[in-house]
Amino acid sequence: MHKQTVVVIFGGASSEHEVSRNSATTIINALNRNLYEVITLGITKEGKWMIYTGSTEHIPTGEWEKYALPAILSPDATHKSILKLVGNQIKEIPVDVVIPVLHGKYGEDGTIQGLFEMAQIPYVGCGVLSSAACMDKAYTNLLAKNAKIAQADYLAFTKADAATLKKCIKRIETKLGYPCFVKPANAGSSVGISKAESTEELVAAIALALDHDHKFLVEKAIVGRELECSVLGNEKPIVSCAGEILAAAEFYDYDAKYNNNESKTVIPADIPEEVTKEIQRVAKKIYLALDCQGLARVDFFLEEGTNRVLFNEINTMPGFTSISMYPKLWEAVGLPLSKLLEELIGLALTCH
């Protein structure tokens, strides 16, 4: 039986480089070697591409870089291969499909997806436009609003807007009030997000968000429960049960996600069946509205008092670490990670 050559790309020049290494390790270890030849292609924080053939234990630590050789994915569609540099020779390694386990900038924003499209190599996940629109929270919210999907009240600004800071703050205080959340438009894993409860905190939060992107959003704080679900598929996606995040911090920021052992996930979430159905309905609606393919994790708030389901955000390459919600939700309904990866590879081969 012919084994398909699967390239797992990890790392990248983003603030989520370390999370990517952990996600990739989980995926590499779970891929069925009876079905796939697995190649690991790492990208350093500086943007250097290298092929790594050693033990996966060196990937989370970053030590893999010491044992790797220069290699790149060829953009030439007649190659469909990795070009590995061995001494003065270039070795071509044919590729069947790519799993880009890259979170955040350059990996989840349509950038690397454009390279795969040029190379005409099938890849797991959303396409160029969908990835870009989902990564940019300002555009995601705009498209959600157009699809009549309920979400928190928000305002979007650019760095140029922030030059007249007093005017910005007046708009925020008038329309949204306190507390509110300030987010970079393009950043993942809650990087650069702050909660502001006063003018002083708002000024600091805007400055932090602008450290990560030239655009930022301000959203009215929602008091409620944080729920997530996993979506799988192309034109006819299926949606998992809902899981609940019990954040150790005041909100589920980067540190609470990855560094605080007190953060917990509850699967399935202890919510009424009609709430689960509404989450699944809205998740499918936003997934299709944003032209997603392969996979996405969709996050919601269940508002206290009203029980309204409010869309929060969508992630086109969610975490695959040992604590990540996306694979855990599928595992809870009988789809273990190795089988989930087979499904994702199958979807990639039929849509890209």
* Whether the predicted pLDDT of 50 surpasses 60: yes
Q: Considering only CA atoms, which of 89, 101, 93, 92 is closest in space to residue 31?
A: 101
pLDDT of residue 90: 94
pLDDT of residue 250: 60
Q: Categorize the per-residue pLDDT at 191 as very low, low, confident or very high, splitting at 50, 70 and 90.
A: confident
pLDDT of residue 248: 65
pLDDT digit string (tens) for 222-274?
999 999 999 999 999 999 999 999 876 565 454 545 454 667 899 999 999 99
Other CB atoms within a 10 A radius of the CB of residue 78 amount to 8
Sheet holding 294-303, edge to edge: 264-266, 238-246, 224-233, 294-303, 309-315
Strand duo 4-11 + 97-101: pairing: parallel
pLDDT digit string (tens) for 198-207?
999 999 999 9
pLDDT of residue 252: 47
- Between 126 and 2, residue with greater pLDDT: 126
pLDDT digit string (tens) for 307-342?
999 999 999 999 999 889 999 999 999 999 999 999
- Between 255 and 346, residue with greater pLDDT: 346
**Would you say the pTM of this structure is higher than 0.75?**
yes
φ, ψ at 211 (rounded to 5°): -70, -25
In this prediction, residues 86-113 reach a mean pLDDT of: 95
User: Is residue 84 within 8 Å of residue 170, measured between CB atoms?
Assistant: no
Q: Categorize the per-residue pLDDT at 15 as very low, low, confident or very high, splitting at 50, 70 and 90.
A: confident
Name the percent of the chain lying above pLDDT 90: 88
How far CA 303 is from CA of 201, 204, 271, 272, in Å, comes to 24, 27, 12, 14
pLDDT of residue 259: 52
Q: Which domains does the chain have, with CATH numbers?
A: 4-123 (3.40.50.20), 133-150+222-351 (3.30.470.20), 154-220 (3.30.1490.20)
Prior bond of 75 cis (ω within 30°) = no
The DSSP code for 82 is E
pLDDT digit string (tens) for 118-170?
999 999 999 999 999 999 999 999 999 999 999 999 999 999 999 999 999 99
**For all residues of the chain together, what is the average pLDDT?**
93
